Amino acid sequence: MGLALSRPTAIAPQLLAAAPFIHRVGQLDVRLAVSEAEIAAAQALRYQIFYDEMGAAPTAAMARERRDIDPYDMICDHLLVVDHGLDGRPHVVGTYRLLRQSVATAHHGFYSAGEYDLAPLIAQSVAGGQLLELGRSCVAPAWRNNATISLLWRGIASYLQTHNIGHMFGCASLHGADPLLHTAELSYLYHHHLAPPQLRARAHDSNHVPMDRLPAASIDTRAASRALPPLIKGYLRVGAMVGDGGFVDHQFNTVDVFVIMPVDRITSRYAARFVGANDSQ
């Protein structure tokens, strides 16, 4: 088909030209993937970040393909930030994987259900709009800046409006699979950002890591907050809360925490910033 490109995160320009984008700033735009080639480019970026950079352990099949692949990729929507580049060779520099409740229910449930009991959250969703699971978030090192992050959030904001989402949730990661390395951060999150019971997913008992390892009075809150990964900091800034218990993910070399974000909190604080009248430009 003539679409072979040397950069694994590259996308043939003719594919992008035939599909709409959500918003564009300079040579960057944010869009939903509409082709297998775009999803493959996102998977290649994920492999570079999760496996090459962060030390996750790929399966033999993933190592051969140099792509992060799992069964959920075929049912999820994939949000992409594309750099169109000065050389005319667009490539994916940021991505999020989005799974709506209606899609999850029709297939094999949410990815996070393998780590957390989602029953309270699913029960809450009956009256408050459907759930959206966020996952597989990553940005290429040279693009980890406000412009790229803002485009991802603008894309998410557009998606929330389109699909009547009541709550967003997902697992966010602390790098390193030893919970003792994250004692201060886990304790800070538990004492200062714990979700109310009706929204509080709990890590399954088989791999539940207590978060309240330190009493609240002994935590250096400023230092613990600074030590959090940028993604978790960003979630907290838009009103996110955490579930009960960390989860050790040995494959990805992380300790995960459950993050839940009521959409009304996000839209009330950030609607004017991320959802504007010129989103179709």
pLDDT exceeds cutoff 70 at 73: yes
pLDDT in tens, 157-169: 899 989 989 999 9
Position 153: which residue type?
W
Give me the CATH topology for the region 13-274: Aminopeptidase (3.40.630)
Count of beta carbons in the 10 Å neighbourhood of residue 18:
9
- Of the pLDDT bands very low, low, confident and very high (cuts 50, 70, 90), residue 144 is very high
> Judging by DSSP bridges, how do beta strands 165-175 and 130-139 pair with one another?
parallel
On the question of pLDDT at 4 being above 50, the answer is: no
User: Hey, where are the domains in the chain?
Assistant: 13-274
Find the mean pLDDT for residues 50-56. Answer: 94
> What is the secondary structure of 88-129 as a DSSP string?
S--EEEEEEEEEEHHHHHHTT--GGGGTEE-HHHHHHHTTS-
Average pLDDT in the 232-243 region?
91
| Per-residue pLDDT at 49 exceeds 60 | yes
Give the residue carrying structure tokens 């792509």: 67
Residue in this structure with the two tokens 């907290």, named with its chain if needed: 236
Distance CA 75, CA 103 (A): 7
By the 8 A CB rule, do 154 and 96 touch?
no
What pTM, to 2 d.p., does this model score? 0.90
| Residue 168: closest CA among 130, 133, 205 | 133
| C-beta atoms surrounding 108 within 10 Å | 11
